[in-house]
Structure 1
Amino acid sequence: MYCFALVAVIAAIAGGLRMGSHGHLKQKEAFLVIFAGLWFSSALFAFFAVEIVHGVEHLWNWYRKGKAKTSSVAAPTAGAVAGTSGSAEVSAPYHSIGERLADPSRRYFFRAASVLAGAAPFAGAVYGFAAERLNYHVRRIEIPIANLPPAIDGMKIAQISDIHMSAFMSRAAVRRAVDMTNELGSDLTVVTGDLITGAHDPIAECVEEVSRLHAPLGVWGCNGNHEIYADAEELAEELFAQHGMKMLRQENAVLEYRGAKFNLIGVDYQRERNLNGHRTQMLSNLEPLIHRDMPNILLSHNPNSFDRAAELGVELSLAGHTHGGQIQVEILDHRLTPARFISDYIAGLFERPMFMPSRKVMVQAEPDAPAGVPSQNASRLYVNRGLGTVGAPVRLGVPPEISLIVLRRA
């Protein structure tokens, strides 16, 4: 029976992988993939959690056993004290080490800890899938921009990213996010990549919903890595154009707000390594698109391009890609998330000096901007936490985000 269940889970997960690269699953298949994926990932985390508890219990017993042995060697017998080891007055011998370690309260504690450790991943997965995954949050943040004209001070940019419309992100869910974005009354709206997850996900339906976005300065976008995986970069550009939007692909547009101009630049997903595994120069063709006489705003799905953007003198970069890690656990004031493995720029606002190649001066400027980076000469990056999910359809500690960015003079 267990082997049959394991085979079913593997088959369902394989179906999920197929969905990401070859096809769009039907509703029943999608439900099976969701259930199998949640069960598999939760069971894996539960196993490790229980083993950690067992390891702590073994260490505790080992410590107590060593302490008990030391005590038994050091303690004199009753006969030795009385000098009559064979007399009737001799006290009963000490209990064995095993008997002294058999503390019912301690056994109950570790048993309860094991049960809780095993159940927590399942409870967290259910909550992350059923509740937090669709609990859209609006984050409003004011970002000081170097060289910002007074007329543009206060301009509002709405940003959504990483929609990933698929079996795990319905059209109705995208529509709700679009409605929430429109309610913000932004002057400019941007979509920073990953409209879909796989090759046959409904990109046309996604763009139809995105086209309901409206802003006086228009709706602009850039491609993400999943458009590359789905071979849909050109299609996304065409669909955007059909609906009166613009997908910027290694190009720029000079926009005007209250009589002042700024330069909006967009690039396709920036790879850090080529197909041979060698490091590549990110934003290699960006310099001709930069205007030195006005602020530059870059749409780049991959936040790791920020180092090069700052070096080139781009005042503000807007990115996504990381999903904020999707799962984040805070332990002793340290935030643990899988996104740490792919980027230093996980979520929120970052800054570093412009025209400087060193990464060591990068600081996270949210929520408390640390001193040391002169704001008037800083390049800034904002990383949106995204709307959708990839892999496990779960969010824990990282709710989906709609950003409202307010530009301020540095």
Structure 2
Amino acid sequence: MLRWVIFIFIYSLLTFYGFQAIKTVTKFTWLQFLFIAIAVLIAGNFIYQFSIGSEGRVLSPTKSYAFGFLLAFMSISLVIVPILIGEDILRFVFGLYDKLVSKETFYMPSRRRFISQIALGLAAIPFSSLLYGMYKGKYDFRVLNYTLHFEDLPEAFDGYRITQISDIHSGSFDNREKLEYGINLINEQKSDAIMFTGDLVNNKASEMLPWKDLFGSLKAQDGVFSVLGNHDYGDYVRWESEEAKRKNLNDLKQIQKDMGYELLLNESRFIEKDGQRIAIVGVENWGKGGFKKAGDLRRATENIDSEDFKILLSHDPSHWEECVITDDYHYHLTLSGHTHGMQFGIEIPGWVKWSPVKWRYKHWAGIYEQLGQYINVNRGFGFLAYPGRVGIWPEVTVITLKKGSNNA
């Protein structure tokens, strides 16, 4: 109850400043009333969805949209507040100065209309961006191509193509037509293998059932390999019993099997061509901080030789930094996801790549290299919580392996 009281207080304070800007700019009372009405409606729906109408911590599309509209609306006030507070400080200083000089009754000068106009104009940028991200951005799939060179890549695998997808989060989807486009985009890459790096669902295996046929249509010559992500274990929802939770995980594993995925649970497989081979290693989720640490590199590589060319599937990129790059074995390429790039940021190739998630994860999107080992952090195919993407678009990664050095 206390958290909702705090939320209402903060939300009301932010809304008050937004209302002040509207009131200063326009004298149309119906616009002022509309602003307040929308504020009440959005907050009321959010509180209903996440308290009275909630089902534990399950994030349904309805709840995600309630959060998304709240975030978009609050972005208006979050921009306006520092500008108007700054103006209030100046108004107080000018009022105090007049009082000290003229000895008259203290009063604060009126708000300046152009200041509120500037504040509202700036606030329109994140507001419209967040709405666009919900309307179109979340299904604006992008194919990102990388070519990586390795001196010790087996000759038979020179030019080998891998398509990576990650973080499907099927419980958030709400548009089959757009999803079909994304699936077709993956198959159109005609890669030798497809690698899925975890988070098939938000919480429950049943979330995947409406989309099972679509994702089951993913095909590649050497198969589809997958691992589990932190959301796949059902740790973020209340279960009636431990048995129900275990059944959910087993159901999710069976769904992957039914779709033709080779789910790697701290184990490995070899892909062979012309008498040569590369190892595909898959570990369960291992995450820094409070995330599940079920990944076991020793167990996963029991049948792997140290000189084998190794591709590791590990959902959380913090595993690479904390354990993989310093391991006795050399993992040539690690494929991860998890961060989503926070679904929000700015990326202009060759110029800027920024997202608030960089303050949490050192490796959060794209290719990184350290100690002669590479990692690709996929930005995610789906979305979670905020039902959209702004600047950080849903990603299909295609990686081509080449024998030799970058300078060759």
Matched, 1:298 2:312: yes
Q: Which residue type is aligned with residue 296 of structure 1?
A: K
**Cα pair 2:226 2:264 within 8 Å, conserved:** yes
The two structures have a TM-score, normalised by structure 2, of: 0.74
1:4, 1:326 → 2: CA distance?
A: 25
Superposed counterparts of 1:168-207, under 5 Å: 168-199=173-204, 201-207=206-212
The reply to whether residue 267 of structure 1 matches residue 283 of structure 2 is yes
Compare 238-247 and 213-222 and name the one that shifted more: 238-247
1:144-179 CA deviation, whole Å, 9 max, x = no partner? Answer: 235212221210001111111124344444332221
Match of 2:340 among 323, 345, 348: 323
Q: 1:236 to 1:144 in 2, by over 3 A?
A: farther
For structure 2, list consecutive stretches of 5 or more residues without a partner in the other structure.
Answer: 1-36, 236-244
Distance 2:295 2:263 in 1: 22
Alpha carbons of structure 1 residues 286 and 61: separation in structure 2 relative to 1, 3 Å: farther
User: Do 2:267 and 2:301's aligned partners in 1 also have CA atoms closer than 8 Å?
Assistant: no
Aligned to 1:156: 161
- Cα root mean square deviation, aligned: 3.5
Aligned equivalent of 1:373: none
Larger radius of gyration: 1
1:361 aligned partner? none
The 3 A distance-change label for structure 1 pair 5 and 399 is closer
CA contact (8 A) 1:43 1:121 kept: no
Counting only pairs closer than 5 Å after superposition, residues 45-56 of structure 1 correspond to structure 2 as: 45-56=75-86
- CA 1:384–1:5 in 2, change beyond 3 Å: closer, same or farther? closer
1:7 corresponds to 2:44: yes
1:345 pairs with 2:363: yes
Structure 1 regions of 5+ residues with no counterpart?
74-93, 354-377
CA distance in 2, matches of 1:17, 1:258: 56
Corresponding residue number in structure 1 for 2:24: none
Alignment-derived partner of residue 390 in structure 2: 396
Give the number of equivalent residue pairs.
348
What residue in structure 2 maps to residue 215 of structure 1? Answer: 220
Q: 1:325 to 1:146 in 2, by over 3 A?
A: farther
Q: Superposed, which structure 2 residues align to 1:4-403 within 5 Å?
A: 6-14=43-51, 18=55, 20-21=57-58, 30-31=61-62, 33-58=63-88, 107-199=112-204, 201-229=206-234, 231=245, 232-273=248-289, 283=297, 285-307=299-321, 308-312=323-327, 313-329=330-346, 335-353=353-371, 378-403=372-397
Alpha-carbon distance in 1 for matches of 2:68, 2:154: 50
Tell me the SS of whatever aligns to 1:13. helix
CA distance in 1, matches of 2:259, 2:320: 30
Amino acid of the structure 2 residue aligned with 1:304: S
- TM-score normalized by structure 1? 0.74
Q: 2-side partners of 1:4 and 1:113: how far apart? A: 26
Offset from partner CA, 1:266-287 (integer Å, 9 cap, x none): 1111133568x9x999746445
Task: Give the letter for the 2:377 counterpart.
Answer: V
Comparing both structures, which one devotes a greater share of its residues to helix?
Answer: 2
CA change 1:281–1:107 in 2 (3 A) is: same
State the secondary structure of the residue aligned to 2:72.
helix
C-alpha change, 1:330 and 1:177, in structure 2 (3 Å) is: closer
Whether contact under 8 Å (1:385, 1:400) holds in the other structure is yes
Match of 1:360 in 2: none
For 2:18, the equivalent position in structure 1 comes to none
- When residues 15 and 318 of structure 1 are mapped into structure 2, their CA distance, relative to the original with a 3 A threshold, is farther
Looking at structure 2, the residues matched to 204 and 120 of structure 1 have their Cα atoms a distance apart, in angstroms, of 37
Q: Which moved more, 1:287-296 or 1:138-147?
A: 287-296
* Equivalent pair of 2:48/2:54 in contact (CA under 8 Å): no
Cα distance in structure 1, aligned partners of 2:177 and 2:394: 15
Alpha-carbon distance between aligned partners in 2 of 1:330 and 1:299, rounded to the nearest angstrom = 25
Q: Structure 1 residues 52 and 179, CA, compared in 2 at 3 Å: closer, same or farther?
A: same
Q: Is the 8 A contact 1:317 1:380 kept in 2?
A: yes
Mark the CA change 1:63 to 1:185 in structure 2 (over 3 Å): closer, same or farther: farther
* 1:115–1:338 CA distance, 2 compared to 1 (3 A): same
Structure 2: distance between partners of 1:167 and 1:281: 26
C-alpha displacement of 1:289? 5.0
